[in-house]
Amino acid sequence: MDLILFGVAWVILSLLGEWGVSAWGPHFYYFTASTQALDGLNASIFLFRFLTPIFFFVVLMLIFVPLRFKHREATVKAQGRRARTNRPFVAIWITVSILVNVLFFLHPTTSAAEQQFDSLLPQNLHGALIVDVTARQWEWHFGYPQYGVTAAKDPNGNDVLYLPVGRTVEFVLRSYDFNHPYALGLDVIHSFWIPAFGEKEDVIPGETRYEVIDPTVITSTEQNPMVRVQCAEVCGPGHPYMYAAVHIVSDQAFLKWVAAEHKAGN
């Protein structure tokens, strides 16, 4: 009877939990603007779906057992042979735990890593837009070597990032201080992060790092603050203000912006 009661309660809670994941899962990420962010969102939903029944099993066990089998010391009487452990239950629990951890290691962890490595293969970067990203205390510099734009600026002279929607973008990340040529002009560690893209990459002095993104939505920082470049590594007193505006536009609007940058001498 106890097993039936526990099982019914567990099934009901698990179904309610799965319903909650289905309802709220698409909102786990505040805003997604790239295929990589969507992949991360789907991975999160997968984990929550799989872990919801396990979560309610553990919680229900912690509540059900003390309430159902609570006895005062004075009322406990000898009732035949008692067991201190349940070896089949322990064996099943350990086996299932190992299998769940192996599953999560294979997917989404290993599968996501393989997908990320594949995105950096030369055959998958054919036609990609290359954006040189230089981090320094406390600003970002963006260059477009394929279009002859060395320092992208908005009309107010602020650094700005423009990206065409639907085109793969390869960010080439470096940490460098133009005003301090000593020690090779190296700056401190920064972290390149656009929240709506669902990825971030540390920018390490002396290293060149890469990040590949496929923008999927026409939007901008003015429309959604999640679409911005933000340093995600504490890099000094100006760290909170180390951000730049991002504009994801159509191909025609992007080429028009490039022409405007050339006209402005950037």
Per-residue pLDDT of 108-127, as tens digits, reads: 888 888 887 887 788 878 88
Q: Average pLDDT, stretch 142-167? A: 93
Environment class of residue 133 by beta-carbon count within 10 Å: exposed (0-12), middle (13-18) or buried (19+)?
buried
Residue 164 pLDDT exceeds 70: yes
Cβ–Cβ < 8 Å for 221, 227: yes
Q: Average pLDDT, stretch 20-36? A: 87
Instruction: Name which of 100-114, 130-144, 162-176, 199-213 the model is least confident about.
Output: 100-114
pLDDT in tens, 175-220: 988 777 665 678 899 999 999 999 999 999 989 999 999 999 999 9
pLDDT in the model for residue 77: 59
Instruction: Name which of 106-110, 146-150, 243-247, 252-256 the model is least confident about.
Output: 106-110
pLDDT in the model for residue 135: 93
Q: Which residues pair with 190 in a beta bridge?
A: 203
Residue 83 pLDDT exceeds 70: no
Residue 170 pLDDT exceeds 80: yes
Give the global pTM.
0.80
Confidence of residue 14 (pLDDT cuts 50, 70, 90): very high
> CA-to-CA distance for 244 and 133, rounded, in angstroms?
11
Q: What average pLDDT does the structure give for the chain?
A: 88
Q: Average pLDDT, stretch 20-47? A: 88
Q: Which residue has the higher pLDDT, 86 or 198?
A: 198
Structure tokens, 122: 């030369």
Residue 144 pLDDT exceeds 70: yes
Positive or negative, the CA dihedral 254, 256, 257, 258 is positive
Residue 80 pLDDT exceeds 70: no
Cβ–Cβ < 8 Å for 47, 23: no
Q: Average pLDDT, stretch 128-148? A: 94
Residue 73 pLDDT exceeds 80: no
Tell which CATH architecture fits domain 128-263: Sandwich (2.60)
Residue 75 pLDDT exceeds 70: no
> CA-to-CA distance for 165 and 167, rounded, in angstroms?
6
Confidence of residue 66 (pLDDT cuts 50, 70, 90): confident
> CA-to-CA distance for 195 and 227, rounded, in angstroms?
6
Our CA angle for 15, 20, 21, nearest 5°, is 100
Cβ–Cβ < 8 Å for 138, 96: no
pLDDT in the model for residue 82: 61
Residue 76 pLDDT exceeds 60: no
Residue 23 pLDDT exceeds 60: yes
pLDDT in the model for residue 183: 58
pLDDT in the model for residue 125: 81
